[in-house]
């Protein structure tokens, strides 16, 4: 379905929501498009690239209407490797603490990395001329979500400061291929370092404004509520808005299936931190965090990409819980327990990676 691997873990078919199994992400700096997670709140639209237009309005001196050809011919093209992580990545760990009705129990695969080709959003904003009073850039898409209350097209916004930082892109290619429908064809926003929800797919409207977007997925969903809040009655402005991704990591290999051989065992995984944070260190433990050893970090595919890591542990016979935790360059470390970060919508679980394995 949608050009994905047969072994994708499909949480929903309509709308399509799927992540790759751990093994499909292991050891790959770039995620093949067929393994890249897909997160949708409504039906995937099929858009004629010839007919597609992007309007730029709001607090600008020159409102624009741009075709795909305009984007390609008027602005300098660029390519950037960036990781996208859904705010719901690793929600399954929170669900084990307490049920989270109405949200998919994503495993560690709601994160993927691609080489994105397109243009810098800043160059479009520059050509439109941002007027005084502007503080946010809102994005609108055509996919109408029945999950929203009331049902509405998907949208969101980022601060003007982030929008003008060079890394935010309007992209039409991933990994050298035109964007497939499931990833936003013909053009999507890519906001490196922020939760995936801000990387609006099939973008057709950009509005420069003095406030964040009033869209359901900015004003109500993708906000972190206190643990005792009722998500069904949450209104605009409750909790706080999610944007920058906190330090996170998970284990990709072993993958928890089958029986391993006791003895030296290679453990690999990913670590990621948003915005100007990098991964400084990853620790791995085979005894619940009493003793840690440092993993080796694989090469870095640029400042906006995840970091893969590997360590060889001495795996005892029997059942073991392997744990891992990453530190970022600001010395933030992942919290030990999902109980500490549990929230009613199940966002931003960055507690220690934990994987149960059996060895003989």
Q: With CB under 5 A as the rule, give the number of residues binding Mo ion.
A: 4
Beta carbon nearer to Mo ion, 33 or 71: 33
Beta carbon nearer to ligand MTE, 187 or 322: 187
Tokens of 27: 């050891």
Are residues 266 and 312 in contact, defined by beta-carbon separation less than 8 angstroms? Answer: yes
Min dist. Cβ of residue 132 to ligand MTE (A): 30
Cis peptide before 247 (omega within 30 of 0): no
Beta carbon nearer to ligand MTE, 8 or 326: 8
Residue 201: which of ligand MTE, Mo ion, none does it interact with, CB under 5 to 8 A by kind? ligand MTE
Are residues 57 and 143 in contact, defined by beta-carbon separation less than 8 angstroms? Answer: no
Kindly tell me the burial class for residue 358, based on how many C-beta atoms sit within 10 Å of its own C-beta (0-12, 13-18, 19 or more): middle
Beta carbon nearer to ligand MTE, 52 or 202: 202
Q: Is 33 helix (H, G, I), strand (E, B) or coil?
A: helix
Beta carbon nearer to Mo ion, 104 or 328: 104
Out of 84, 138, 242, 305, point to the residue binding ligand MTE (CB under 6 A): 84
Residue 9: which of ligand MTE, Mo ion, none does it interact with, CB under 5 to 8 A by kind? none
Out of 24, 84, 86, 121, point to the residue binding Mo ion (CB under 5 A): 86
Q: Which of residues 38-77 bind ligand MTE (CB under 6 A)?
A: 38-41
Min dist. Cβ of residue 240 to ligand MTE (A): 17
Q: Is 70 helix (H, G, I), strand (E, B) or coil?
A: helix
Q: Which residues of 267-291 are buried (b: 16+ CB within 10 A; e: fewer)?
A: bbbbbbbbbebbbbbbbbbbeeeee
Pairing of strands 259-260, 353-359: parallel
HSE, side-chain direction, 13 A CA sphere, residue 102: 10
Residue 31: which of ligand MTE, Mo ion, none does it interact with, CB under 5 to 8 A by kind? none
DSSP letter string, 222-270:
SEE--TT--GGG--TTSSEE--BPPPEEEEEES-S-SEEPSEEEEEEEE
Q: Which of residues 178-237 bind ligand MTE (CB under 6 A)?
A: 183, 196-197, 199-202
Task: List residues binding ligand MTE (CB under 6 A).
Answer: 36-41, 84, 86, 141, 143, 154, 183, 196-197, 199-202
Task: List residues binding Mo ion (CB under 5 A).
Answer: 39, 86, 196-197
């Amino acid at each position: 379905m949608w050009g994905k691997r047969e072994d994708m873990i499909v949480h929903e078919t309509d709308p399509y929501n799927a992540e790759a199994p751990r093994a499909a992400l292991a050891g790959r700096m770039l995620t093949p498009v067929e393994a890249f997670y897909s997160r949708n709140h409504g039906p995937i639209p099929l858009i004629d690239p010839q007919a597609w237009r992007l309007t730029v309005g709001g607090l600008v001196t020159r409102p624009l209407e741009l075709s795909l050809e305009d984007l390609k011919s008027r602005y300098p093209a660029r390519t950037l490797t960036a990781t996208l992580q859904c705010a719901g990545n690793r929600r399954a760990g929170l669900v084990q603490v307490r049920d989270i009705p109405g949200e998919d129990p994503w495993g560690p695969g709601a994160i993927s990395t691609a080489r994105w080709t397109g243009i810098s959003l800043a160059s479009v904003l520059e050509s439109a001329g941002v007027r005084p009073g502007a503080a946010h850039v809102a994005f609108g898409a055509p996919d109408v979500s029945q999950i929203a209350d009331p049902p509405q097209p998907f949208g969101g916004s980022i601060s003007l400061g982030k929008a003008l930082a060079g890394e935010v892109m309007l992209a039409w290619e991933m990994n050298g291929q035109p964007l497939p429908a499931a990833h936003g064809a013909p053009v999507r926003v890519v906001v490196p370092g922020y939760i995936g929800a801000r990387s609006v797919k099939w973008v057709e409207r950009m509005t420069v404004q003095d406030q964040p977007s009033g869209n359901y997925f900015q004003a109500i969903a993708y906000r972190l509520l206190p643990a005792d809040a009722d998500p069904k009655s949450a209104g605009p402005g409750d909790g706080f808005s999610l944007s920058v991704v906190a330090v996170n990591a998970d284990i990709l290999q072993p993958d928890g299936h089958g029986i391993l051989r006791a003895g030296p065992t290679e453990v690999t995984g990913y670590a990621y931190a948003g915005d100007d944070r990098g991964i400084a260190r990853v620790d791995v433990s085979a005894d619940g965090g009493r003793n840690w050893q440092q993993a080796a970090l694989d090469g870095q595919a640029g400042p906006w990409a995840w970091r893969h890591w590997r360590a060889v542990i001495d795996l005892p016979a029997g059942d073991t819980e392997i744990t891992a935790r990453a530190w970022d360059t600001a010395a933030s470390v992942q919290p030990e327990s999902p109980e500490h970060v549990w929230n009613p919508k199940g966002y931003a679980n960055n507690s220690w990676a934990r994987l149960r394995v059996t060895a003989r």
